[in-house]
Amino acid sequence: MSNAVSIQNVCKLYNKIPVVNHLSFTIESGEMFGLLGPNGAGKSTTIRMLTTLTKPSSGQIQVAGYDVTQQSLQVKQCIGVVLQQISVDTDLSVWENMEFHGRMHHIPNPKRQQLIKQWLEYVELAERRDDLVKTLSGGMKRRLQIARALLHEPQILFLDEPTVGLDPQTRRRLWEIIRDLNKQGMTMLLTTHYMDEVEYLCDRIGIMDGGKLIKLGTLPQLRQQHGEGLVMKQIGDRWEYNFFPTLEEANVYLDRQADKTGMMVRASNLEDIFVELTGRQLD
Ligand code: ADP
């Protein structure tokens, strides 16, 4: 399978300080890749480099086979971007926002009108087409951002914290949209703070910390490496965690304890592994 994204030995320095530090990984065509990390890990900077918004200080980045610095125009034609901050124009209507983006990408009519209609229907905003964006809810604005990012039919979609600040129902609706697009063959890279989002959506997970990739793999691979069973022990107001290769081994360990007070066994999850690796919990 060909690589949709290739990052090789990339650094990004701000004021001579590396915020992305010798980063290398690839994303296969059709893959749903999740980039996870605490605040300041360098996730947004990585997305900004991948989407041509900022240049790497050193190293090579290819997106859809094009070099992001030498062939940024071609890269822009192949990608859709949904950034953290709401980037739609709130003083324009839903349709006008789509129309503007379609013209920017030189999509000719009648194809432009047909695509706008199609994607607004897809994200269930067709009935709000003439409403000003400022009258939409946060979830609707995010759906509009997604529809707009899809208008020029990109091969790869970048989503930077797509569900931050949304209520649980709206998050799940967005998950369905994201999953459906991926099933249709779209390659996706998403950054998030939410472990459940990664567990539900992503084929492969990269964990970043301090500008570096500290872990890469599927969830089953990460669980296998760190231990699939967990013994938790409450000591005062904090919990001590011990990983075991399997849930069975964790249970055997618990059974052998004379005093089981404050102890419990469960299967490990991504959050346990994240905390183990970064020493931090996400907010
Ligand atoms: P994340 O998305 O993982 O929270 P970011 O990529 O936003 O991390 O930020 C990584 C680090 O780079 C942070 O310490 C941040 O303050 C710094 N940074 C990001 N953008 C700039 C910039 N334009 N100028 C200076 N420092 C920046």
pLDDT tens string 7-44 = 999 999 999 999 999 999 999 999 999 999 988 999 99
Work out which ligand 1 atom sits closest to the CA atom of 160. 2
- Structurally, at CATH architecture level, domain 3-221 sits in 3-Layer(aba) Sandwich (3.40)
Mean pLDDT, rounded, of the chain: 92
Distance 32 CA to ligand 1 centre (A): 24
For the record, the structure tokens of 232 come out as 């938790």
Distance CA 21, CA 13 (A): 8
Ligand 1 centre from 256 Cα, in Å?
Answer: 48
* pTM of the predicted structure, to 2 decimals: 0.90
In the chain, CATH 3.40.50.300 covers 3-221
Burial class (CB in 10 A: 0-12, 13-18, 19+), 53: middle
For a pocket test of ligand 1, which of 10, 44, 83 has the largest count of ligand atoms closer than 8 A to its C-beta? Answer: 44
Regarding the beta carbon of 278 and ligand 1, being less than 6 Å apart is answered no
pLDDT score at 237: 86
Alpha carbon of 183 to ligand 1 centroid (Å): 32
The CB of 12 under 6 Å from ligand 1? The reply is: no
CB of 207 shorter than 6 A to ligand 1: no
How does residue 280 score in pLDDT terms, banded at 50, 70 and 90? low
Instruction: Among 11, 15, 19, say which to mutate for ligand 1: greatest number of ligand atoms within 8 Å of CB.
Output: 19
Cis peptide before 110 (omega within 30 of 0): yes
Nearest CA owner, ligand 1 atom 16: 40
CA–centroid distance, residue 42 to ligand 1 (Å) = 6
CA of 17 from ligand 1 middle (Å) equals: 10
pLDDT score, position 283: 46
Q: CA 113, CA 77: separation in Å to the nearest integer?
A: 19
**pLDDT tens, position by position, 84-142:** 776 788 899 999 999 999 999 999 999 999 999 999 999 899 999 999 999 999 889 98
Give pLDDT tens digits for 187-229: 999 998 889 999 999 999 999 999 999 999 999 999 999 999 9
Ligand 1 in contact with 44 (CB < 6 A)? Answer: yes
* β partners of residue 240: 233
DSSP codes joined into one string, the chain: --EEEEEEEEEEEETTEEEEEEEEEEEETT-EEEEE--TTSSHHHHHHHHTTSS--SEEEEEETTEETTTSHHHHHHHEEEE-SS--S-TTSBHHHHHHHHHHHTTPPTTHHHHHHHHHHHHTT-GGGTTSBGGGS-HHHHHHHHHHHHHTT--SEEEEESTTTT--HHHHHHHHHHHHHHHHTT-EEEEEES-HHHHHHH-SEEEEEETTEEEEEE-HHHHHHHH-SEEEEEEETTEEEEEEESSHHHHHHHHHH-S--TTEEEEE--HHHHHHHHHS----
pLDDT digits (tens, 9 = 90+) for 141-195: 989 999 999 999 899 999 998 888 888 888 888 899 899 999 999 999 999 888 9
